Amino acid sequence: MKWLMVGLLVVFLLLGSFLLTPSPVDSKAWNPPSPPPLTGEVAPNERLRLADLIARGQVYGPEDTAVSEDGVLYTGTQDGFIVRVFPDGRVENWLSTDGRPLGMVFDSQGNLIVADSWRGLLSISPEGEITVLAREAEGTLFRFTDDVDIADDGRIYFTDASSKFHQPEYMLDLLEMRPHGRLLRYSPKTGKAEVLLANLHFANGVAVSPEGDYVLVNETWKYRILRYWIHGPKAGQAEVFADNLPGFPDNLAVDDQGRYWVAFPTLRDSRMDAMHPRPWLKDLVAKLPSSLKPAPQEYGLVIAFDRDGEVITSLHDTRGTHLQEITSVNPHDGNLYFGSLHNDRIGRLPLQAIPGLGDSN
What are the structural domains, with CATH classification, of the chain? 38-354 (2.120.10.30)
91-96 and 326-332 strand pairing: unpaired
**CA-based angle 216:245:208, to the nearest 5?**
10
pLDDT at residue number 357: 81
Q: Are 350 and 48 in contact (CB under 8 A)?
A: no
Nearest residue to 142 (alpha-carbon basis) of 199, 196, 180: 180
Number of neighbouring beta carbons within 10 Å of residue 340: 26
Buried b (16+ CB within 10 A) or exposed e, 172-210: bbbbbbbbbbbbbbbeeeeeebeebbbebbbbbbbbbbe
Q: pTM of the entire structure?
A: 0.93
Contact 218, 250 (CB under 8 A): yes
* 265, amino acid identity: P
- Answer yes or no: is pLDDT of 196 > 70: yes
pLDDT 10s digits, 243-277:
999 999 999 999 999 999 999 999 999 999 999 99
pLDDT-derived band at 294, boundaries 50, 70, 90: confident
Distances (CA, A) of 258 to 53, 156, 194, 225, 303: 26, 19, 27, 16, 14
- Give yes or no for residue 16 having a pLDDT over 60: no
pLDDT of residue 4: 42
Q: For the chain, how many residues are written? A: 361
182 strand-pairing partners: 160
Q: Report how far residue 315's alpha carbon sits from residue 328's, in angstroms, rounded to the nearest whole number.
A: 13
Mean pLDDT (the chain, rounded): 93
Residue 66: CB atoms within 10 A of its CB come to 23
Closest to 85 in 3D by CA, of 349, 315, 341, 348: 348
**pLDDT value of position 19:** 55
DSSP state of 358: G
User: Is residue 11 predicted with pLDDT exceeding 60?
Assistant: no
Q: What angle do CA 347, 352, 358 make, to 5 degrees?
A: 145
Contact present, 253 and 328 (Cβ < 8 Å): yes
SS3 280: helix
- Alpha-carbon separation of residue 347 from 60, 109, 304, 321, 337 (angstroms): 13, 27, 17, 12, 5
Reported as type and span, the H/E element at residue 109 is none
Percent of the chain with pLDDT over 70: 93
Band the pLDDT of 295: cuts 50, 70, 90.
confident
- pLDDT per position as a tens digit, 79-99: 999 999 999 999 999 999 999
DSSP class of residue 48 equals G
φ, ψ for residue 36 (rounded to 5)?
-75, 155
Given pLDDT bands bounded at 50, 70 and 90, which one contains residue 20? low
Nearest to 37 by CA among 267, 265, 261: 267
